[in-house]
Amino acid sequence: MKQLRSALKIILVIAVTCGAVVLIVYLTNRQNTGSPEGTYKSATLFAMDTTLDVTIQGRSDREARADAEAVRRTVKGVEDYTSLFIDTSDVAAVNGNAGVAPVKVRPETLLMIKRSLDYSQRSDGAFDITVGPLAELWGFYSGEFRVPSRAQIEAVLPLVGWRRVAIDEPNGTVMLAEKGMAIDLGGVAKGYALGVAAEELRSRGVEHGLINFGGAVAAIGDRSDGRKWVVGIKNPRGEAGDIVGELAVEDTFVNTSGDYQRYFVENGVRYCHIFDPRTGYPARDMMAVTVVGPDPMNNDIICKPLFVLGQEWGMGFMRAEPAYEALFIDADGEIGMTPGMEKKYVITMQGSVR
């Protein structure tokens, strides 16, 4: 029975990771007149544990295919040096030398870690890349999901703490203070990868494109017919195509974090992969948070403390981030948003999740 239960949990999380579309992109406009001529949509790819779709407009089919392949290579390159599970990655090297020695990392990795630590400080530790030991304890790495005892969590919590990540910027090194500590860049690397992939498309001459990367979207310019891209916000408790509203975007990025992306259920309680690093338990006050802004790495990070600390704290936090807007779906299904989100981006939005 225990093996069956574990298997069912694994199936649940894999289905959510691979099959759920966090943001739904509408390639036709809202008047249903179809996609502009010359729209290319790639086959669905798989990278960094999620799906990757690329849409290019205003380019020849040959150019667009090459553009989509360039995006795939770019994202795979980021994965190669940020994945916990690739032995040759920067992250694996830092974790393997925890409490032993500093590790020289790529400038890109250093940037991600430095930016993460900045937001850790600003969120009083609600975002923390050193949650690796917690994720492992709860089974999110192995797929052997379980709810640990309080004693087990208390034993691991001393290994979690962003202040004990030492960066030597002149030498380009990173060191974790104690053996057993581990960083996990899952809350920042996908956003970073989306940004460099978008820049790759721009450098290749793409003026109208869109990357749909699991819970993140890059809008390069507008559509080739002059309309904005329309992005649907998924209903966290609905079927695959159910949405709670629509955003109109151009030349910006949209990132979402939700409790329906990776999770398991034990005794009727949902436990997701987004942890409150201060308590050692998965956060449970929100269903989803969406952030729109000019830097997808920042979007990706900002989603996490908003998810952990909730809308009331998040609204205050977002006042210090004037270039970014947020939408919240709390644990009761109530939907709230920053004033700028409604003014700049929202086409339609429900008041709550049904």
**Domain spans of the chain?**
2-81+188-268+281-349, 84-186
Q: How far apart are CA 30 and CA 227, in angstroms?
A: 10
For 40-93, the pLDDT digits (tens) are 999 998 889 889 999 999 999 999 999 999 999 999 999 999 999 999 999 999
What's residue 23's pLDDT? 58
- Domain 2-81+188-268+281-349 is in which class? alpha beta
User: Can you tell me the distance from the alpha carbon of 26 to that of 40, in angstroms, rounded to the nearest whole number?
Assistant: 14
pLDDT at 161: 97
Q: Which two structure tokens, joined as six digits, stand for 280?
A: 């050692």
pLDDT at 5 over 90: no
Buried b (16+ CB within 10 A) or exposed e, 238-266: eeeeebbbbbbbbebbbbbbbbbbbbbee
- Could you read off the pLDDT of 258-291 as tens digits, one per residue? 999 899 999 999 999 999 999 999 999 999 999 9
**Per-chain mean pLDDT for the chain:** 91
**Same CATH topology for 2-81+188-268+281-349 and 84-186?**
no
Please report the pLDDT score of residue 9 as a whole number: 33
DSSP 43: P
Closest CA to 254 of 310, 293, 309, 208: 293
Residues 162, 121: Cα–Cα separation, whole Å: 8
Q: Is residue 267 within 8 Å of residue 81, measured between CB atoms?
A: no
Please tell me the predicted confidence (pLDDT) of residue 163.
98
One-letter amino acid at 142 equals: S
Residue among 223, 198, 227, 225 nearest 295 (CA)? 198
Backbone angles phi, psi at 211, to 5 degrees: -115, 125
**Residue 41, amino acid:** K
Q: What is the pTM of this model?
A: 0.91
d(CA 77, CA 71): 10
d(CA 90, CA 53): 26
Judge whether 199 and 209 are in contact, CB under 8 Å: no
Q: For residue 311, give the 3-state DSSP assignment.
A: helix
32 pLDDT above the threshold of 60: no
pLDDT at 27: 46
pLDDT at residue 103 greater than cutoff 90: yes
Question: What is the C-alpha to C-alpha distance for residues 247 and 341, in angstroms, rounded to an integer?
Answer: 9
pLDDT at 261: 84
Tell me: the pLDDT tens digits for 125-148? 999 999 999 999 999 999 999 999
Q: CATH second-level architecture of 84-186?
A: Orthogonal Bundle (1.10)
Question: How many other C-beta atoms lie within 10 A of the C-beta of residue 117?
Answer: 18
